[in-house]
Chain A
Amino acid sequence: MMRRYLLFIVLFILFIAEGTIYQVFAPDFRGSDYLFIPRWVFMIIIFAGIYRGRAIGTLHAVIFGVLYDIIFSSVLGIYTFAMGLIAYLFSIAHPFFQRNLVVSISMSIIAVMILEYFVYGFMLLLGYTTVLHEEFLYIRFIPTVIMNLVVIAVLAYPLRKWFYYVNQRAEEQDKFHS
């Protein structure tokens, strides 16, 4: 029972950590000029989408999008829609993506890039920010992408192992039941 919800629990803990622990030690509060926005939950959701199928990826994306919207965002719906749609589009459970770790890492990073631009566009459209594109690009976008790339590159291998293990268990159980 626990095993089934393990992905959700891991994502939830990461989600909490992004808003609490990371914020206490956030580099831009400790003298850094650049913004490093953590998108760990989202990247792992993309990974889950690639390795465990579209349904799981999209479901988790929508759940955490709703949480993000309600708790952190000033406008409801933006993260739910963006995370749900991007996770749906990027959850391609094709063996080619699964075998090449580099490909799945770049998929999740591209997803983060699209999410950043999507949210920036909406904030600009709704008048919540006046940040110019150049400032956005250099202060926020590039550092964020680099930070998240490093994190996912470290996490990728253990994540894939874990997802393979979970899939294998599921298959075994199916055989056992049938």
Chain B
Amino acid sequence: MPSFFSNKRLIFLLVCIIILVALIGYSMSDRRSLTWPEQFVTDSVGWVQSAFSRPAHFVAGFFENVNDMRNLYDENRILKSHLDEYAALQVELNDLRRQNEELKDSLDVSDNLYDYTVRSALVIHRSPDRWNEFVGINKGSQDGIEVNMAVMTSKGLIGKIHQVSPFSSTIQLLSDQARNNRISAFVDADTKINGFIEGIDSETGYLHFTMIDIRAELEEGQLVVTSGLGGVFPDGLPIGEIVSFETDEFGLSQSAYVKPTADFYNIDYVMVIESSAPTLAPEINPEFGEEE
């Protein structure tokens, strides 16, 4: 069909391709913050989206509640058996906390990495094509949210803030496959074993935990938590537990599979964690703004 690509149209198509390549190059550059048209679009669409997702979450929650009611009895029995342990733990915790404070007072330590502020937000959208694992929430820079803050549900860490506009922001989940999606973590054992959480295995749904010291002694069932290195993430947010480990392909380090404690699928409310630990001022900190 000759009318499809006349000369003028061919040139127009070529110009479009050039614009496409330029846009891709622009959006792939690291550490890009949203431009104002993007912010305007995400915010105004986000407002509509929250109007839609609230009732949807409500309906989904209702069905889950009905489901829960069926195994209420079993759950209740298990919980009752845990209750006795809980009382004992509570006593121990109080004791330890008091001891800890006394020791800190004697050492003049005032801040620690465990201090953090929590903001809760509603999930308003999720990208329908599963090429990325981005989730939108209804709070933005006006509510004090900044790029790279940790995001968790009640069960554990799910990701970090990827992009921020004034009234909404986007979370990059731990399961996102992009190469820059990397979080510093350690194994909660007698000695700290450091490594990085890097993407997810699409078949098993386990997270990759890589760059672990070759001499470290891993065990199945050990808990993996955030390390708090880098200053953006607070210390000790639970990520998951180790299910298997192996020496990696070059024999220089170990890698493990971590079963996430949080559910990446049915997320309705999330908590955005701001670490209030003292960090170096941005002017003198050489690592400011780096991933980890």
Contact = CB atoms under 8 A, between A and B. Distances in A.
Interface of A: 16-25, 28-29, 35, 37-38, 66-67, 70-78, 80-81, 84-85, 89, 119, 122-123, 126-131, 135, 140
Given A29-B265, A75-B27, A119-B129, A16 B42 contact: no
A97 to B, nearest CB: 14
B67 to A, nearest CB: 11
A70 B132 contact: no
Contacts of B125: 19-20, 23, 71-72
A111 B37 CA distance: 29
Given A74-B178, A76-B24, A128-B177, A20 B127 contact: no
A21 B53 contact: yes
A20 B57 CA distance: 9
A81 B22 CA distance: 12
- Provide the main secondary structure of the chain B interface: helix
Contact of B41 (A22, A28, A70): A70
A24 B57 contact: yes
Nearest to B50: A20
Contact of B60 (A24, A67, A123): A24
B24 A131 contact: no
Interface string B65-107: 0000000000000000000000000000000000000000000
A11 to B, nearest CB: 13
Contacts of A38: 128
Contacts of B128: 18-19, 22-23, 37-38, 72
- Provide the main secondary structure of the chain A interface: helix
A15 B69 CA distance: 34
Nearest to B54: A20
Interface string B13-47: 10011011001101110000000011001100100
Most buried by B among A21, A74, A77: A74
A127 B134 CA distance: 16
B132 A74 contact: yes
A66 to B, nearest CB: 8
Nearest to A62: B16
Q: How large is the interface on B (under 10, 10 to 19, 20 to 34, 35 or more residues)?
A: 35 or more
Given A20-B125, A80-B23, 20 more contacts: A16-B49, A19-B128, A20-B56, A23-B128, A24-B268, A25-B56, A35-B130, A37-B128, A70-B38, A71-B125, A72-B127, A74-B27, A74-B132, A75-B27, A77-B19, A77-B27, A78-B20, A128-B131, A130-B177, A131-B202
B24 A28 contact: no
A46 B250 CA distance: 50
Interface in B250-269: 265-266, 268
Contacts of B41: 66-67, 70-71
B53 A20 contact: yes
Contacts of B45: 16, 67, 71
A22 B130 CA distance: 13
Contacts of A131: 202
Given A18-B128, A37-B130, A72-B125, A77 B57 contact: no
Contacts of B140: none
Contacts of A128: 131-132, 177-178
Nearest to A77: B23
Nearest to A144: B129
17 contacts: A17-B52, A20-B56, A21-B53, A21-B56, A24-B59, A29-B265, A29-B266, A66-B41, A76-B26, A76-B27, A77-B20, A81-B16, A85-B16, A123-B131, A131-B202, A135-B202, A140-B130
Contacts of A127: 179
A18 B56 CA distance: 12
